[in-house]
Structure 1
Amino acid sequence: MEINVRLATAHDRPALEEFYSREGIRFHDLSSQNALLTQGATKETMYVVAVAGDLVVASLKLDVKKDPSLGLVGHIQHFEIEDELEETILGARMLQKIGKIAEEKGLRALDTIVSEKRADIIQVFLSSGFEENHKEVHLRKDFRARLF
Structure 2
Amino acid sequence: MPIEVRTATARDRKKLQQFYSREGLSFDRLASRTATLPMGSSSETMFIIAVTDGIVCAAMKLDIGESPEIGKIGFIQHLEIEDELESTDLGEKMLLEAENIARDRNLRALDTVVSEDRPDSIKLYENANFQAEHREIYMRKHFRNRVF
TM-score range, shorter chain: over 0.9
Counterpart of 2:123 in structure 1: which amino acid?
A: Q
Match of 1:34 in 2: 35
Q: Secondary structure at the match of 2:37?
A: coil
Match of 2:25 in 1: 25
- The aligned length equals 146
Cα offset, 1:142, TM superposition: 2.1
Counterpart Cα distance in 1 of 2:123 and 2:34: 24
Select between 16-25 and 29-38 the one with higher mean Cα deviation: 29-38
CA shift digits 1:76-119 (9 cap, x unpaired):
00000111111110000001111110000000000000111222
Counterpart Cα distance in 2 of 1:145 and 1:132: 36
- Structure 1 runs of 4+ aligned residues shifted over 4 Å read none
How do 1:94-109 residues align onto structure 2 when only pairs under 5 Å count? 94-109=94-109
Counterpart of 1:87 in structure 2: which amino acid?
A: S
Cα offset, 1:145, TM superposition: 6.6
Counterpart Cα distance in 2 of 1:142 and 1:28: 31
Aligned-pair identity (%): 48
Cα offset, 1:36, TM superposition: 3.0
Counterpart Cα distance in 2 of 1:25 and 1:123: 23
CA RMSD, aligned part only? Answer: 1.6
Cα offset, 1:33, TM superposition: 4.9
Q: Secondary structure at the match of 1:93?
A: helix
Counterpart Cα distance in 1 of 2:143 and 2:22: 34
2:142 matches 1:142: yes
Counterpart of 1:36 in structure 2: which amino acid?
A: L
Distance 1:33 1:121, change over 3 A: farther
Please report the TM-score for the alignment, with normalisation by the length of structure 1.
0.93
What runs of 5+ residues in structure 1 fail to find an aligned partner? none
Cα offset, 1:62, TM superposition: 0.4
* Contact 2:34/2:42, CA 8 A, preserved across alignment: no
Counterpart Cα distance in 2 of 1:29 and 1:56: 18
What runs of 5+ residues in structure 2 fail to find an aligned partner? none
